[in-house]
């Protein structure tokens, strides 16, 4: 099966960043970029909607090691 030159890896919910990096290396890739996005939840407080941060999504972009 042919591997793509670039691939994205998301840190799973019950996975540490270090474990994700080990998974990337085990598949033959090297991380070249990291994107982090906040995850918000709508909460109704006093008649208005407030957005509260409840987590974050971390995605690594990796390239194939030659």
As given in the structure block, the two tokens for residue 6 are 């670039």
Other C-beta atoms lying within 10 Å of the C-beta of residue 5:
10
1 inside domain: no
**What's the whole-number mean pLDDT along residues 10-39?**
96
32 inside domain: yes
Residue 23 has a pLDDT of 97
**What's the whole-number mean pLDDT along residues 30-38?**
97
Q: How far is CA 10 from CA 1, 31, 36, in A?
A: 21, 12, 10
Residue 1 has a pLDDT of 45
53 inside domain: yes
pLDDT band at 66 (very low <50, low <70, confident <90, very high): confident
As given in the structure block, the two tokens for residue 2 are 């042919």
Question: What's this model's pTM, rounded to 2 decimal places?
Answer: 0.79
12 inside domain: yes
Question: Could you list the residue range(s) of the whole structural domain that residue 39 is in?
Answer: 6-64
Count of the separate structural domains present in the chain: 1
């Amino acid at each position: 099966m042919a591997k793509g030159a670039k691939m994205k890896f998301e840190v799973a919910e019950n996975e540490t960043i270090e474990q994700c990096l080990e998974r990337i290396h085990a598949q033959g890739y090297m991380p070249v970029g990291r994107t982090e996005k906040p995850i918000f939840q709508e909460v109704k407080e006093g008649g208005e909607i407030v957005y509260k941060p409840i987590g974050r999504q971390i995605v690594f972009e990796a390239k194939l090691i030659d």
